Amino acid sequence: MKVYDPARIRNVVLLGHSGSGKTTLAETMLFEAGAINRRGTIEEGNTVSDYHELEKEKEKSIYSSFMNLDWRGHKINLIDTPGTSDYVGEVVGPLRVADTAIFTLNAENGVEVGTDSLWKYARKYEVSSIFVVNKLDNERSDFWQTVQEAKEHFGREVTVVQFPYSEGNDFHAIVDVLRMTMYEFPEGGGKPDKLPIPDSLKDKAEKLHQELIEIIAENDESLMEIYFEHGELDEEQMEEGLHLSLVKGQIHPLFCVCAARNMGTGRVMGFLDDIAPNPLEGNAPKSQNGDDFELDPDGKPVLFLFKTYSESHVGDLIYFKQYSGSSVAGMDLMNNSTSNSVRLGSLYLTEGHKRISINEIKTGDIGAVVKLKDGEVNHTLSEKGNNIVLEEIEFPPTTIRTAVKLTNEGDEDKLGNALHQIHREDPSIIIEHSQELRQIIIHAQGEEHLGVIEHQLRNRFKLDVEFITPKIPYRESITTQVRSKYKHKKQSGGAGQYAEVELLIEPYEEGMADPPDMKVRNTDVHDLPWGGKLVFNNCIVGGVIDNRFMPAILKGVMEKMQNGPMSGCCARDIRVSVFDGSMHSVDSNEAAFKTAARMAFRDGFLKANPKLLEPIYEIEVIVPQDYMGEVLSDLGTRRGQVQGMDAEGALQKIKAHVPLEELDHYSTSLKSMTQGSATYNRTFSHYAQVPFDVQERVMKENAELEEV
């Protein structure tokens, strides 16, 4: 397999809303380059990139797929990605290592919500961006409306380089305003004829050509001077300016294609070769400490791992980008993220499921390695002594959760291993083993995402599982102070148990004064792992309880705080003062005092006007204006409190506080009420007191569980 120098490598990621034609575009590009001799289709399930059985069944991309092709001496690493927000974890990794993003727009639907979401990630990584308007042969195609929407959503930097001669069933030619040529395609697509622009379109082409020159010139002073002097830029000057503007993100060229009929893809690939940045010119990664890391073809090897996929007969296939030097199989390196030494196994390039062995991966290229014993997504490998760690990929917060329950007991270890492997391959999934809730909770990006996880557990790992509603991690506290007393006395032959404690239990507030009628001998402040504080005062006088029993009393209180009296969830923000009690010279011991403290705390807690707190999440809903009313009304039914509304480009952003209990399956409901045009994200905000009816329900459910 040929090894390419960095200057002849293009790392390109395909982005766009589901159904915009990314996979078909990738297939056509491979065919045009001669990498495949027959184009597959989504309907037939034989495309290079959507090769997983579940992708064929759903007829959509679920996983990112890696391909490469040679176009006129340049290597294009092509990454096809899913367009559904549920699979965004498969997008952010490829975006991190790409130098150019091609956004596909469906000419019938214009700019769709998935494209808006992906645009934010492309901007975050400062990836050069190109737009391709696809499906121009659709009878409802509207190219100019799509262009207008693109400018509204992504800015005036979106610049038309091509427009269609005609649309719909008659689509067969493209006018290129950079080269001022019309490309007319034969019926079956393929290589076009180059023709003069028809007189009927000359004025429009000249106007767009002039706009292209102006945006190029305004981003480069030397070209601006030439433009002012001559009123024109030649094609070479325009391409030079386009290249510089594209690298700096000052222009987003827009092209026309009909990928299904193989019309226009060759020109896009030619643009990638001639204009798009190579890895040395693309956005350099940052180190973990925030410094720019410059790619160095002559330097010592530095690799960044960004994607893991496991095959049953091969093991882990880990994708990486070479950021410095070269890598060869058998090379010994250090994993700077774990400080362990590793040896590279066999190196490969991939075309979908097909692996192609390669001897060397040079700077800027993307490859894959098998049998890497110590390597995970976000790890940096280098030669020993070079301790560079590159900035990690930041995966988006999850939007949905479910608890997983085994049908058959005894498969717990197998389930744990399966979930660990699923998380390794998709770090946008979070696996929580909640001791508090006594559940394994899967946090994912949406309902479809959960469906894929369930499919893997059942079919790949052969586990009989059930997804059930997860419990809510409530918090408990109190609103008034009480004094509580408990005597633990037990005699059953031989040494008995005796302990008596008297506690003052109060709601804790920062800076509160000591109890007025007690002398505080010692105070312990505990920052609780689940949030909030426990302040524990020793106010014993006269030696009625030995100091040696104080840790046992604290432990008894803490045990009950971990398993709160109302809901079984954790209690927080409480001050406990031990001010009296009694002990026995023979029968008192730590176990007795722990029991007495636990019971005294429980009894006092329930008398202190307890309150139940629920987790409140801040959500941001991105929604078209037309659906604002429905979304706001729905938030009201979910006990949501709207915090604000802002315009975000052509869309609206709603910020609200919503209880976690009301967010179960919200992503599905949101898609349903907005016809799939809205998205949302959520982050934990704070705990707040639940309504009285909710508290009563939760206490009743907890009491029933304790009886069982």
Q: What is the pLDDT of residue 283?
A: 82
The predicted-structure confidence for 299-341, as pLDDT tens digits, reads as follows 999 999 999 988 767 778 999 999 999 999 999 999 999 999 9
Contact assessment for residue 524 and residue 541, using Cβ atoms and an 8 Å cutoff: no
Same domain, 84 and 208: yes
Per-residue tokens: 296:
């160095």
Same domain, 174 and 212: yes
Separation of CA 560 from chain center: 37
Contact assessment for residue 678 and residue 670, using Cβ atoms and an 8 Å cutoff: yes
CA distance 507 to 240: 69
Q: What angle do CA 681, 684, 611 make, to 5 degrees?
A: 135
Domain that holds residue 569: 476-608
Q: What is the pLDDT of residue 493?
A: 63
Residue 282 in any domain: the answer is: no
Number of domains observed in the structure of the chain: 5
Q: What is the pLDDT of residue 707?
A: 62
Same domain, 537 and 554: yes
Cβ neighbourhood burial of 409 (10 Å; 0-12, 13-18, 19+):
exposed
For residue 482, report the phi and psi dihedrals to the nearest 5 degrees: -140, 160
Q: Which helix (H) or strand (E) holds 684?
A: strand 679-689
Last residue of a domain, one of 587, 608, 629: 608
Per-residue tokens: 482:
């009480």
Q: What is the pLDDT of residue 116?
A: 85
Residue 366 C-beta-side C-alpha neighbours within 13 Å: 32
Q: What is the torsion angle, in degrees rounded to the nearest 10, for the CA atoms of residue 306, residue 312, residue 313 and residue 317?
A: 0
Same domain, 101 and 131: yes
Residue 316 in any domain: the answer is: yes
CATH number of the domain encompassing residue 307: 2.40.30.10
| Euclidean distance between the first and the last CA atom of the chain, given in angstroms as a whole number | 66
Q: What is the pLDDT of residue 168?
A: 94
User: In the beta sheet, which residues pair with residue 302?
Assistant: 324, 382
Ramachandran region of residue 637, left (φ > 0), alpha (ψ -120 to 50) or beta?
alpha
Same domain, 26 and 122: yes
Same domain, 484 and 555: yes
**Which stretches in the chain have pLDDT values below 70?**
1, 312, 492-494, 706-708
Measured CA to CA in angstroms, residue 434 lies from 187, 429, 442, 699 at distances of: 60, 15, 10, 20
CATH number of the domain encompassing residue 498: 3.30.230.10
Same domain, 68 and 172: yes
Measured CA to CA in angstroms, residue 60 lies from 400, 622, 654 at distances of: 21, 23, 30
The predicted-structure confidence for 592-615, as pLDDT tens digits, reads as follows 999 999 999 999 999 999 999 999
Contact assessment for residue 469 and residue 410, using Cβ atoms and an 8 Å cutoff: no
Listed residue (273, 347, 275) closest to 76, CA to CA: 273
Q: What is the pLDDT of residue 348?
A: 95
Order of strands, sheet of 193-195, starting from the edge strand that comes earlier in the sequence = 162-164, 173-176, 181-184, 193-195
pTM for this prediction: 0.90
Q: What is the pLDDT of residue 220?
A: 83
CA distance 527 to 558: 12
Residue 362 in any domain: the answer is: yes
Residue 363 in any domain: the answer is: yes
Same domain, 125 and 157: yes
Q: What is the pLDDT of residue 664?
A: 87
Same domain, 228 and 257: yes
Same domain, 137 and 263: yes
Contact assessment for residue 673 and residue 659, using Cβ atoms and an 8 Å cutoff: no
CA distance 619 to 634: 13
Listed residue (486, 436, 477) closest to 598, CA to CA: 486
Contacts of 312 (CB under 8 A, 6+ apart): none
Order of strands, sheet of 302-311, starting from the edge strand that comes earlier in the sequence = 340-343, 332-335, 380-382, 302-311, 315-324, 366-370, 347-351, 354-357
Last residue of a domain, one of 352, 382, 412: 382
3-state SS track over 172-193: CEEEECCCCEEEECCCCCCCCE
Contacts of 198 (CB under 8 A, 6+ apart): 165, 182
Q: What is the pLDDT of residue 494?
A: 66
CATH number of the domain encompassing residue 113: 3.40.50.300
Residue 287 in any domain: the answer is: no
CATH number of the domain encompassing residue 660: 3.30.70.240
DSSP character for 267?
H
Q: What is the pLDDT of residue 310?
A: 85
Residue 557 in any domain: the answer is: yes
Listed residue (200, 242, 204, 253) closest to 220, CA to CA: 242
Residue 520 in any domain: the answer is: yes
Residue 291 in any domain: the answer is: no
Same domain, 359 and 419: no
Same domain, 72 and 113: yes
β-bridge pairing 347-351 and 497-507: unpaired
CATH number of the domain encompassing residue 420: 3.30.70.870
Contact assessment for residue 474 and residue 698, using Cβ atoms and an 8 Å cutoff: yes
